[in-house]
Amino acid sequence: METFIKDITLGAGKIIAKYFGKVAVSYTKIDALDYVTKADLASNSYLIKAIKKQYPHHGVLSEETGYITRRVQSILGLLTLWMEQETS
């Protein structure tokens, strides 16, 4: 699992790097300082797809898209929960 985490982290970083220096705000959340960029959405999508492909029964809690799972169940019912949050 450690190798997988390193690989998807590097993959997400490459996606984010493509947007470096470009203003690409997709939408704001609460106020103008709480924004979501195209880089956020693209890397978020990549991470979720990679995790769901490798670990289809794991849950994912994403800052951008919320809670996602293949089966309907509570967070407490999950054996493994991935939490994805980008930091600045």
pTM over 0.85: no
Sequence spans of domains, the chain: 2-84
Helices (H), 2-87: 2-18, 38-54
2-84 sits in which CATH class? Answer: alpha beta
> Which DSSP category does 76 fall into?
G
Instruction: Tell me the C-alpha to C-alpha distance, in Å, between residue 62 and each of 21, 22, 71.
Output: 24, 23, 16
**CA dist., res. 72 & res. 70, Å (int):** 7
> Which DSSP category does 79 fall into?
S
Question: Which residue carries 């300082």 as its tokens?
Answer: 33
For residue 72, pLDDT over 50 is answered with no
Q: What is the mean pLDDT of residues 14-19?
A: 94
Q: How confident is the model at residue 80 (pLDDT cuts 50, 70, 90)?
A: low
